[in-house]
Amino acid sequence: MAVRTPLLSVPVHEMKQAAQPEIWQLWAKPENLQPIGAFKLRGAYNKIAALPEAERRRGVISYSSGNHAQGVAYAARALGLKAVIVMPSNAPKIKREGTAALGAEIVTVGPGSEERQIKAEELAAAHGYAMVPPYNDEFIIAGQGTMGLEILEDLPDVETVLVPVGGGGMISGVAAALKLGAQHKVSVIGVEPEFAADARDSFRTGHLVRWTAEQITRTLADGLRTQSLGDITFAHIQRFVDDIVTVTEDEIREAVRRLSVNPKLAAEPSGAVAVAAFLFHRNELPQTIRNVAVVSGGNIDPALKAEICG
C-alpha cells in the first residue's frame, strides 16, 4: 500500500546559511514519493486495515485539509470501502480534486479544524461510519512511525531528525520509533510555522494550547493548520520529542524553492518546513553531523509553485 521511501542526500554545500557545510550532512525522507504524494497513507491504511470487518463495511469517515483525506480515500478504495471526507472550504484545489478522484464523497465546511471534526463526528453517528482520525489515534501514530524505522535501517548512525508538526501524529510515531529503536541518542525536533505554533506553545508550557482558526489560516502550510495537538499525540511528544522550533512564511517559501530543483524532493509548503529549519535555524538545532529532514508531502498547487519558484 504505502511504499518505502529512500533517504536522499541534500547538497548542504549549496545552503549558504549553514556554517561549516563540509561537516554537516542532511538527508531528506521524501514522503512526496508516496502514491498520494504524502506520508498520510501510512497511518490511514494502518487504521482502516485494523478495523473490524463489520465496521469497515459500513464505510469510513474522516476530516482533513487534504493529505489525510487522500490517504483515507486511497486506502478505502483499495479495500473496496465507502469513504466520506469532511474538508475545509479553503483546502487547496489540488487536494480536493485528488480526494474526489479517488472516489471519496466530500463534505465541505468552514476553515477551522474543530469545525470539520465536529461535522465528521455528527455524520459518523448518523450513518454508522467508522472514524479514521487524522492524527490522535494509536493506529495512525503507529503507521506514521514506520518512517522512523526506515530511517534507522537506512542511516543507523543518524543523530537528529527534523519532523513537521500539525496534529502531531507523524512526529509522535517517528519519535517513538527512533527513541525506542535506536541504540544511541537520536534527537527529534518538531518544526511548525510560526503562524500555527500551537504545538510549540504546548511543548513549552507543558499543557495543551489551542490556537484559533483565524490564527492558523495565516500560514501557507495548509497541512499544518491544526488548532491543537490531540491528547494522545501530546503525550507522545512530551515523552519522546526533544524540542519544537518554528519557521517563517518566507523561510518556508525559500525551502520550497530550493527543494524544487530536484523533482524527487518537490515539496508543498507543509512538507518543506523541516528543511526550512535546517536552512535558517541551524543555531537552534543540535549541532550534529548526520541529520534527516522529513519532506512530508509534495501536493502543491501548480499556481502556487509557479509563484514561489518562477
Once rounded to an integer, what is the mean pLDDT over residues 158-172? 98
Range name among 17-26, 147-156, 201-210 with the lowest pLDDT average: 17-26
Interior CA angle at 24 toward 22 and 25, to 5°? 100
User: Between β-strands 8-10 and 25-30, what pairing exists: parallel, antiparallel or unpaired?
Assistant: antiparallel
CATH node for 8-35+137-309: 3.40.50.1100
CATH node for 40-131: 3.40.50.1100
Q: Per-residue pLDDT tens for 178-222?
A: 999 999 999 999 999 999 999 999 999 999 999 999 999 999 999
Task: Let me know if the fold of 8-35+137-309 is the same as that of 40-131.
Answer: yes
Enumerate the domain spans of the chain. 8-35+137-309, 40-131
Rg (CA), the chain: 18
Reply yes or no on whether the pLDDT at 77 is more than 60.
Answer: yes
Q: Which three cell numbers, joined as nine digits, stand for 59?
A: 464505510
**Predicted local distance difference test score (pLDDT) of residue 282:** 94
